[in-house]
Structure 1
Amino acid sequence: MASQGLLTPDLPLELQRDVQRKLGRCLLRLQQYEILLKALVAHGDIAGPPAGLQAVQDVQVACAQKKTLGALVGMLTERHLTSVEVDDSAEEPQGDSGMWFRFRFQVGLDASQQQDTKAALKELVELRNELVHHFLQRFNIWEHQGCIDADAYLDASFETIDGHYLTLRGWAQGMEEARALMASFMNTATFEDLLVNGIAPDGSVDWLASGAVRCLREAEARFATEGWTQLNTATTWIRAQHPDQHPQRYGCGSWRQVIHESRQFEIRRTMNKEQGRGEVWYRSRQEEASMQGKRSS
C-alpha cells in the first residue's frame, strides 16, 4: 500500500481533487442544515408574557448556537415532531394573572413516520461524525481504488444530506408562514383588544387582564376612603382619563355590571343622608389586593 500523502503514479490528480470537492460539498450542506436547524429550534417554541418574549427568544438563540448537531436533532424530535396533539395548558404558569403567549411549531406525523424520521435523523448525525472524524481512516484517497470508493460514498452521502436539508427547509418555511400569520394578527385591532383589554376574539373577557378592571383599580388607588371608593367618583374619572374604556366594550350595560361580572371587587351600598340618595362603593377583594401587592413589589 502506498503511504498516505504520496500519490501513486497511476492516480490522476483530478480524481483526488474530485473527492476533496465532494467532501467539501457534503460538509457545506451539513453546515447549512445545522444553521437552519438552530433557527428552527430557537424560534419554533417560544412562550412567556408579551413584554418578555424578545428576551426569551434571545436566550434561546444564544443557547442553540452552542448545541451540537446531535443535541439539536434531539430537540427537534422531542419538541417539534409529534404523533399526538400536545396539551400546552399544563405548561402555563399557575396563579399568574398576566397575559401569557406561546408559539409552538410542530410537524404532525403518524407513529410509524415518527419512528422512521427519528431513525433517519440519528443516521444523519452518525454520517456527519463519519465525514468529519473518520473519513480518511475509512478511505485511502492516495490510492486509485480508495478515490473511486470515496467518490461513490460521497455522492450517496450528499444525496442523503441534501434530502434532509430539503425536508428541514420545508418545515422551516412552514414555521415562518405561521409566524408571519401570527405577526399579521398581532397588528390587528382584535389582537390589541386581547392584549390591552383582555377581550378574546369570541367576545369572552379575561377580567384580570382587562382594561376595565385596570382602570377601576387605578381609580381606587386615587380616591379610596378608608379602603372604599365611590363608584360615581371612579367612573367620572375613568370617562375623563380613559374615554375608550366603557362597560359596553365588555358586553356590560353599566360599571356595576362590570364589577359584578369581573368578580374582582366587593361592593356595598350606603345612604347619603345629606343628599338623600344612595351611593355605591367598591373595593378590591382582599385576596386580589394581596396578589396585586405581591406582583408590584
Structure 2
Amino acid sequence: MDLAATPEQAGGLAELQRAAQNKLGGCLLRLQQYELLLKAMVANTEVAGPPAKLESLREEQIACAQKNTLGGLVGMLTGGYLSSDDSAVADSPASEEPPGNGIWFSFQHRMVMDAERYESTKAGLKELVDLRNELVHHLLQRFDLGQMERCEAAVAYLDRSRGTIDAHYLTLREWAEQMERTRAIAASLMDSPSFKDMLIDGIAPDGQVHWPMSGIVDSLREAEAALSQGRPEGWTELNAAIAWQRQHAPEQTPQRYGCSSWRQVLHESRQFEVKKQVPAEGAPAMNGTVVCYRSLREE
C-alpha cells in the first residue's frame, strides 16, 4: 500500500480486501458443494456384480470417490456418466458379464451427447478444475491485494469466477436430479411383477422364457437332487418330482411358462435328458412305463 495514502484511501482498500476475502470464501464454499455433489454422482453412476455383493461394491465405490480430487472426479464423470455416443455405453466395463451361470446384475446411468456438445462440456469442466486450482494456489500471485487497483481487479475476477462456478453447479444439480428421477423409475420397474418374473423366473414381458435361468427348471433340479439319490445313473421319475414340486414349490407350474404339461417343460427347456422306463414296484405308470429325467451332463 502507498505510504502516502489518505485515511479514506486506506479505508477503501481495507474494505476491498474484506470483499475479496468474502468473495473468495464464497467461491471455495460453492466449489466444495460442487465436489460433494459430484462425488455422490460418480459413486452411483454404475454398479455391477452378484446380487449379494452389490451393496459392498457400492460402498467401495463411494469410498473411492471420497478420496478423489476434483480433477479425478471430473475425469470419472466424463469417462463414465457422460458419453458422446451409444457405443461408449456398450463398451463400458459394467456391461461385461463374468463367465459362468450365476446371476450377474449390472446397472448404469448414462447421459449421451452429440460429439460437439460432449467435447464442449469436457472443455468447460477442465476450465472449472483449472479455475479451482487458480483460486486455491495462485490468487495472491496474480493479484497484489495491497494495491487498490489490483484489489479491485481481484474483486471483479472473483465475481466472474463465482458466476462460472454457479453455472457449473446448477448444471451438475440438474444432471443429479435427472439421475435421481431415472433411479426412481428403475426402482419402480424392479419392484413390478413383470421384472420379478424376468429376474427370478426367466419370463420376459413378451412371454418368452429364458429356460436356463427359469424358476421351474431350478425347482426340477432341486427335486432331482432330493429324489435321485441311490437311483441308477441319477434318473428321477417325473411323477415323483411333480409331487415334490406341489409340496415345496407350488407356484412353479407348467402353465406359468406357457406349457400344458410337465413333459412339455422338459422338452421346451432343453435342460434335461428324458426317457421312459419300467416303474418301480407300486409306482404309478402310464401304459406300463414312467417318464424319467435328469439334468444334461457336460461331455
Q: Tell me the TM-score normalized by structure 1.
A: 0.89
- Look up the equivalent residue of 2:19 and give its one-letter code: D
TM alignment of 1:68-147, pairs within 5 A? 68-85=69-86, 86-87=89-90, 91-147=95-151
Structure 1 residue 88 displacement after superposition? 5.7
Structure 1 residue 239 displacement after superposition? 1.1
| SS of residue matched to 2:122 | helix
Question: Which residue does the alignment assign to 2:257?
Answer: 250
Question: Which residue does the alignment assign to 1:203?
Answer: 207
Structure 1 residue 24 displacement after superposition? 0.6
Identity across the alignment (%): 55
Decide whether aligned partners of structure 1 residues 228 and 156 sit closer, same or farther in structure 2, where only a CA change above 3 A counts.
same
The runs of at least 4 consecutive aligned structure 1 residues that moved more than 4 Å come to 273-276
Question: Which residue does the alignment assign to 2:219?
Answer: 215
**Whole-angstrom distance in 2 between the partners of 1:143 and 1:74:** 38
Contact 2:83/2:113 (8 A) holds in 1: yes
Question: Which residue does the alignment assign to 1:236?
Answer: 243
CA RMSD of aligned residues (A): 2.2
Contact 2:47/2:107 (8 A) holds in 1: yes
Q: Does 1:192 align with 2:186?
A: no
- 1:150-206 deviation digits (Å, cap 9, x = unpaired): 101001111111111111111111100010011112222122212221212222222
- Look up the equivalent residue of 1:121 and give its one-letter code: L
Higher mean C-alpha deviation, range 231-240 or range 87-96: 87-96
- Look up the equivalent residue of 1:87 and give its one-letter code: A
Decide whether aligned partners of structure 1 residues 84 and 249 sit closer, same or farther in structure 2, where only a CA change above 3 A counts.
same
Q: Does 1:280 align with 2:284?
A: no
- Look up the equivalent residue of 2:276 and give its one-letter code: R
**Whole-angstrom distance in 1 between the partners of 2:129 and 2:36:** 14
Contact 1:268/1:282 (8 A) holds in 2: yes
Higher mean C-alpha deviation, range 271-280 or range 102-111: 271-280
Decide whether aligned partners of structure 1 residues 10 and 109 sit closer, same or farther in structure 2, where only a CA change above 3 A counts.
same
Structure 1 residue 57 displacement after superposition? 1.0
Contact 1:198/1:211 (8 A) holds in 2: yes
| SS of residue matched to 1:9 | helix
Contact 1:11/1:143 (8 A) holds in 2: no
| SS of residue matched to 1:201 | coil
Q: Does 1:58 align with 2:59?
A: yes
Structure 1 residue 142 displacement after superposition? 2.2
Decide whether aligned partners of structure 1 residues 273 and 142 sit closer, same or farther in structure 2, where only a CA change above 3 A counts.
closer
- Look up the equivalent residue of 2:155 and give its one-letter code: D
Question: Which residue does the alignment assign to 2:160?
Answer: 156
Gaps of 5+ in 1: 289-297
- Look up the equivalent residue of 1:251 and give its one-letter code: G
Contact 2:13/2:151 (8 A) holds in 1: no
Alignment length, in residue pairs?
Answer: 285
| SS of residue matched to 2:48 | strand
| SS of residue matched to 1:252 | coil
Q: Does 1:31 align with 2:32?
A: yes
Question: Which residue does the alignment assign to 1:172?
Answer: 176
- Look up the equivalent residue of 2:57 and give its one-letter code: V
Structure 1 residue 48 displacement after superposition? 2.1
**Whole-angstrom distance in 1 between the partners of 2:254 and 2:296:** 20
**Whole-angstrom distance in 1 between the partners of 2:132 and 2:32:** 10
| SS of residue matched to 1:253 | coil
Contact 1:98/1:208 (8 A) holds in 2: no
Decide whether aligned partners of structure 1 residues 273 and 93 sit closer, same or farther in structure 2, where only a CA change above 3 A counts.
closer
**Whole-angstrom distance in 1 between the partners of 2:126 and 2:147:** 31
Question: Which residue does the alignment assign to 1:292?
Answer: none
| SS of residue matched to 2:102 | coil
- Look up the equivalent residue of 1:125 and give its one-letter code: V
Structure 1 residue 94 displacement after superposition? 4.2
Decide whether aligned partners of structure 1 residues 273 and 245 sit closer, same or farther in structure 2, where only a CA change above 3 A counts.
closer
**Whole-angstrom distance in 1 between the partners of 2:207 and 2:201:** 11
Decide whether aligned partners of structure 1 residues 219 and 17 sit closer, same or farther in structure 2, where only a CA change above 3 A counts.
same
